[in-house]
Structure 1
Amino acid sequence: MIEIRPFKSLGHADHGWLKARHHFSFAGYQDPARMGWGRLRVWNDDQIDPQTGFAPHPHRDMEIITYVRQGAITHTDSLGNEGRTEAGDVQVMSAGSGIRHSEYNREDEETRLFQIWIEPTARGGDPHWGAKPFPKGERAGDWAILASGMDGDGDALMLRTDARVAGITLRAGERAEWTLGEARKAYLVPAVGAVEVNGVAANERDGVAVEAVDTIALTAIRDSEIVLVDTP
C-alpha cells in the first residue's frame, strides 16, 4: 500500500515566529487517522523566523531527529551540549530518562527543518545528543543512512530504536530503490522536487506512507531530495 498525503492536507499551525505543518497528530492538531506510522510518531515541517526559536523545555523516552533543510539551528541542552546544525546536516537527541533543550534560529534568515520523533525500543536510559554533517554530494544517487539503531550502520547517528532515517538526492530521471520488507513500514517526504514512488506521484513536501511493500522504487520527476524513515 502506498498512500500520498498531500502537503495541503497536513495539519498546520501559525505561531507567528513558527509556521508548522504536521504529518501526524501533534499539539492542537489531532486526526485519529494520523496518529503515527509504526514507531514513527511525529514528522513536523517547520519554518522558524530569524532570531527566534524553541525556549528550553523537557522531553523523555523519544528519539528526536532534526533534518535541517535551509539555514541552521543552534541546540543547547541540560547535559551541557551546544551545537549548530546547518542545512543538509542532521542532529539526534535521544531523550532517554529525561533532558531539557532549546532550539534557536540564530541566523539572519529563515530556518526550515524536518523534526522527526520515533519511539525508542525501551524506556529510560541516559539521554544523549549528537550531530553530523552529511555532504549532499555523498547522497547523489545513493542512500546515506543518517541515523540508525540497526546493526551494520556504524557511521550513522545512533538511535535507540530499530529504525533508520535515510536521505538521497536524485537528478530528474534517475532511479533508486529501498529494500523495505513487507513486515516493516516506511514514510518518506520529497524535501525538494517530485518523485514517483512505485509509479505513484508525490510532490515537494507531500508525505508518502508505505506498507506491505518489499521494495520501494523511486524515480525523480524533477531534481529531488528525499528523506525516508524505515520503521517496524
Structure 2
Amino acid sequence: MDVRRADERYRGGDPAAGISSLHAFSFGPHYDPDNLRFGAVIACNEERLAPGAGFDEHPHSHTEIVTWVVEGELTHRDSAGNESVLRHGDVQRLSSAGGVRHVERNDGELPLVFVQMWLAPVEPGGDPAYETVRGIADSTPYAVPEAGAMLHVRRLTAGERTAVPDAPHVYVHVVRGEVRLDGVELGEGDAARITDAKDLELAAGAPAELLVWEMSVG
C-alpha cells in the first residue's frame, strides 16, 4: 500500500482567474516519471472554482473522465451537444474516445469544489459518450468498463466500517473526514494506492466521504 498525503499533491490552476487545482499525478508542466498512473487512473484532480470562474472549451481524447462534485454546482457543456449542472451526489462521465471538446464552469453564486479522475481506456478510439447519474447510492457501484474499472462511493458515519474491494488495483481518495486503512490514518485529500488488495477494510474515525476505484487492469 502506497499512501500519498494531501500536502504532497502538485499545485496548479490559475489563482488569478479563480481556479485552484491539486494534482495527485503528473499533470501539465509538472512531470514525475515515477508518478504517471496507478492502475487505470492517470489523474485525480481537486478543482476549486470561484463564482464565475471556469475552464474554457478545451479538447480531450482517449480518456474516461469521471467527476464528483464536493460542493457547489458545476456546469458542463460539450461539443456533442450535452449540457448539465452537477451537484453533490452526482457522478458524471465523459468518454472522450476519438475526441471531444468541453467547457466546465462555476455559473453559481457559491464556490465550487469537485474531484475529477481520468482513466486510461483499455482500447483507444471509438465514439464519445456522456452520462450523468443523479444522487448515486453507496450500494450502487458505477462501472467504467472501457477502463476495466468500478467506482464505489462510500459515505461513512463515525465508527462505521466498509470493505475494500478485492482487486489487482484499488485507489482510495478521501474526499472528507478521517478513516483508518490497514492501521494507517487517512485524512481529507489523502489517497492510498493498493496493489493486490485482499481482506482490507476502512473504518471511519469521523464522518467520511470516500471515492474508491476497483480496477482489474493497469
TM-score by length of 1: 0.88
Structure 2 match to 1:166:
152
CA RMSD of aligned residues (A): 1.3
Amino acid at match of 1:99: V
Amino acid at match of 2:64: E
Mapping for residues 22-61 of structure 1, pairs under 5 Å: 22-61=23-62
Amino acid at match of 1:112: V
Superposed displacement of residue 29, structure 1: 1.7
Structure 1 stretch 11-20 or stretch 101-110: which is displaced more? 11-20
Structure 2 match to 1:122:
123
Structure 2 match to 1:148:
144
Structure 2 match to 1:214:
198
Superposed displacement of residue 146, structure 1: 2.9
Amino acid at match of 1:163: A
TM-score by length of 2: 0.94
- Following the alignment from structure 2 to structure 1, what is the Cα–Cα distance between the partners of residues 47 and 175? 12
Post-superposition Cα deviations, 1:125-172, rounded to whole Å, max 9, x if no partner, equal 11011111125xx42xxx4313432xxxxxxxxxx2211111011111
- Which 5+ residue runs of structure 2 have no aligned equivalent? none
SS in 2 for 1:228: strand
Superposed displacement of residue 14, structure 1: 4.3
Amino acid at match of 2:141: I
Superposed displacement of residue 199, structure 1: 1.8
Contact kept, 8 Å, 1:92 with 1:147, in 2: the verdict is no
Structure 1 match to 2:102:
101
Superposed displacement of residue 189, structure 1: 1.1
Superposed displacement of residue 47, structure 1: 0.6
- Following the alignment from structure 2 to structure 1, what is the Cα–Cα distance between the partners of residues 134 and 28? 30
- Following the alignment from structure 2 to structure 1, what is the Cα–Cα distance between the partners of residues 200 and 114? 24
The alignment of Structure 1 onto Structure 2 pairs a total of residues equal to 214
Amino acid at match of 2:160: E
